Structure 1
């Protein structure tokens, strides 16, 4: 054997060179000889003919490598998703529903929302273009609806109060109805906001629903600086909002037209009398124009009086918090310097209004990075949880944007009647393991202290893990 011997290690395409002191390396005691392994970087795979087939890496035969024609193939990246199995594939008796315990609920209709319906569970009518399906839902609520066989909620006293406010707001300017649901964590603020959205959608309102306001300020979408407005535009988020807004309200928007001319930078302006669907189409043709079109669309909707408009924002406090976006100097960008949060804050503060309509918001405590700021807390008359003396610094701009907001408190505890309706929903869907009697119900109600979220997740669903 020559002093330079080539060995190929198992599991490796490239051979390794073994340097030894003598030609009798393999017959001597290897423990006393120094051995150096160096990889040959210049090694190339043997040439293949045109008829040879090279295996492709990745999912379903697609990935990095070369095809038979020698063209590089990119890896196809697919992310898994939790999707329900078809009913035909669920043969086990565990998945069979007892007809006696099948969840049958009345539909969530405006005519049913009276004081007599408090404590009644109702099923949401999720049509093809429903606002909750198109705009999305808060994460915790989405998980509950995926577990339940039908999307539903319990009508509470705060639901009826919100409906009464919306009925009054349908004939008044949105400046007079700017409401924020407040309350302790898990009391049901997001559900109350969704109930308001579904009510308005069924009463022929034009609805714009933002279920996750934190996504506007947590630096998860692209942004560009606009020299004309001196703000940071969010074209991707504006584009998606226009798409969803059109699919939810298309029937009503077809009958509405622009009242004033809409200028577009470096493009022909949108003339007076253009259908609002065509105005939205201009923003969908080019993503860079979407922020301007979204602002112009809300301005045109604010001048018409044919339909009332509801602007609903969950995670409302995030609009008043420090954003996670950075400027070229790596300093945090103020939330009101971003195009979409600034647009929503204009309507929340009353700087811009709808001729008929309302602005509803809901506070959220799901993220510790976006807690309720002092300026908004004082505007809503919420008790302080930290030092708030006269020497604590306050932002005059945030105080301006929070002026005139009305707090609509959601009770920290459900009534026994409301909790009983919620217990019956999860019991019929098989989420509660155990004997469903009065003792089990009262024990879970006492453990959660009547809190809606704790009653479901730490009470009823926790029984599945025991």
Structure 2
């Protein structure tokens, strides 16, 4: 009897000790102990657990709904990476910590406007104007992938005015002052990968837009031939139609240039759209023409007719200067990824959109619209996409591209003729490396943002400049890689 009493006493002392010091979770261990068969131990544990449950219930009652919602929001933010996770105080960071600084707005940057761009403004970093940004984003002209990634990492999308920028803008000013000659209207910007050709084209687009030009900007011309949109053969046009692409291009042209298009009228007509009897009368302005083509019940044949009428009228008129800018222009002169019913790859001139754009660039030949009469066309090759090399026909017809042609290359005679009829002038920018002064302007803006991991000093600047090898794109990627 004495032994049993001692056993009960020992179990009581152990369970009581665990209950006081370790809480309810520790009492679970006590119930699994070898001495937990005693009724006295069970009673003691029941007595210990009850107050804890009552206390937990009481704490929930005392918590106000406001504090409960705040705590719930904080927990959700910490789980999902929402506002709770981005709040420096929630992360335990001090406001004085460099890692908790708010994102700089860079509101002090001037805008990229024609009246603000002179020779003395070279090497300055400026922000894109609201009108330009609206045309690129909200009116869906879009951006090349590399520039979209760059601008997405910047608190305020910006660009550097280089001496090359001033040369391109002077070229636009000369094209505006007098009618364009066929041998000078089409220019190909050529430079190695990363030298900023896409940025130069975007600067030309912004300058022309702010200078009241009629602008057509095609930043992703490779999508016209990469088999990413529906197509169907048209017996009327003798070409494979691309209705979705055609509609998208017309919508962009209309949304950005509506004021100019309302003043440009058709000098010819009437035009029959399709077999349904739809017509476009002589004297109609281009706004009404495009709107008629964008109606829901418009057939693909009628839509293509509207597209051709619109582009022909735009390049032939002389009331307003025109800028046609196409990035990834090798797609307009390459073999496409589309296939016919016999699984033969289609040439770009067998597709509706590339053929219409070729006709707009061609200054001579059958099917040509005669070339741009007042204005300029700028094209550039997208060298970042290795799936689309410069076609052999362009390498042969344009020696200025500095692209070697394979001695056994097989040329397409019809494509070669189209390239020659465009009379493309190559502007070689291979020597336009990033200078120390240009790099310094970009680095200084990144320093002012205060979002660099490393200390922005001479050592970090020179290391990134040397790593870039004179490439603007490589230097800017190096800066983005050091951003917080």
Query: TM-score, with normalisation over the residues of structure 2?
Result: 0.73
How many angstroms apart in 2 are the aligned matches of 1:312 and 1:130? 17
Residues 151, 379 of structure 1: alpha-carbon distance in 2 compared, 3 angstrom cutoff: farther
- 2:349 alignment counterpart: 336
- The structural deviation recorded for 1:201 is 0.4
- The structural deviation recorded for 1:357 is 1.5
- 1:270 alignment counterpart: 280
Residues 378, 160 of structure 1: alpha-carbon distance in 2 compared, 3 angstrom cutoff: farther
- 1:116 alignment counterpart: 120
After TM superposition, the structure 1 stretch with the greater mean CA deviation from structure 2, 347-356 or 143-152, is: 347-356
Deviations 1:355-402 (A, max 9, x none): 21111111111211110122212433246555533x532222232222
- 1:74 alignment counterpart: none
Task: Please state if 1:234 is matched with 2:242.
Answer: yes
Q: 1:252 aligns with which of 260, 266, 275?
A: 260
- 1:360 alignment counterpart: 378
Task: Please state if 1:155 is matched with 2:161.
Answer: yes
Q: State which structure, 1 or 2, has the greater radius of gyration over its C-alpha atoms.
A: 2
- The structural deviation recorded for 1:130 is 3.6
- 1:173 alignment counterpart: 180
Q: 1:381 aligns with which of 394, 399, 421?
A: 399
* CA contact 1:349–1:405 (8 Å) conserved in 2: no
Residues 197, 258 of structure 1: alpha-carbon distance in 2 compared, 3 angstrom cutoff: same
Residues 455, 97 of structure 1: alpha-carbon distance in 2 compared, 3 angstrom cutoff: same
Deviations 1:62-94 (A, max 9, x none): xxxxxxxxxxxxxxxxxxxxxxx9999964355
* CA contact 1:173–1:354 (8 Å) conserved in 2: yes
After TM superposition, the structure 1 stretch with the greater mean CA deviation from structure 2, 376-385 or 177-186, is: 376-385
- The structural deviation recorded for 1:316 is 0.8
* CA contact 2:242–2:352 (8 Å) conserved in 1: yes
SS at 1:232's partner residue?
A: strand
* Moved beyond 6 Å, runs of 4+: 85-89
Unaligned segments of structure 1, at least 5 residues: 1-84
Unaligned segments of structure 2, at least 5 residues: 1-80, 89-94
Q: 1:409 aligns with which of 422, 428, 450?
A: 428
Bigger helix share: 2
Task: Please state if 1:399 is matched with 2:404.
Answer: no
After TM superposition, the structure 1 stretch with the greater mean CA deviation from structure 2, 394-403 or 224-233, is: 394-403
* CA contact 2:336–2:348 (8 Å) conserved in 1: yes
Residues 387, 273 of structure 1: alpha-carbon distance in 2 compared, 3 angstrom cutoff: closer
- 2:7 alignment counterpart: none
After TM superposition, the structure 1 stretch with the greater mean CA deviation from structure 2, 156-165 or 409-418, is: 409-418
Residues 161, 380 of structure 1: alpha-carbon distance in 2 compared, 3 angstrom cutoff: farther
How many angstroms apart in 2 are the aligned matches of 1:117 and 1:278? 41
- 2:446 alignment counterpart: 426
How many pairs were matched up? Answer: 378
Task: Please state if 1:197 is matched with 2:217.
Answer: no
SS at 1:153's partner residue?
A: strand
SS at 1:209's partner residue?
A: strand
After TM superposition, the structure 1 stretch with the greater mean CA deviation from structure 2, 335-344 or 396-405, is: 396-405
Query: TM-score, with normalisation over the residues of structure 1?
Result: 0.76
Q: 1:211 aligns with which of 202, 212, 219?
A: 219
- The structural deviation recorded for 1:460 is 1.7
Root-mean-square deviation (Å): 2.4
SS at 1:296's partner residue?
A: helix
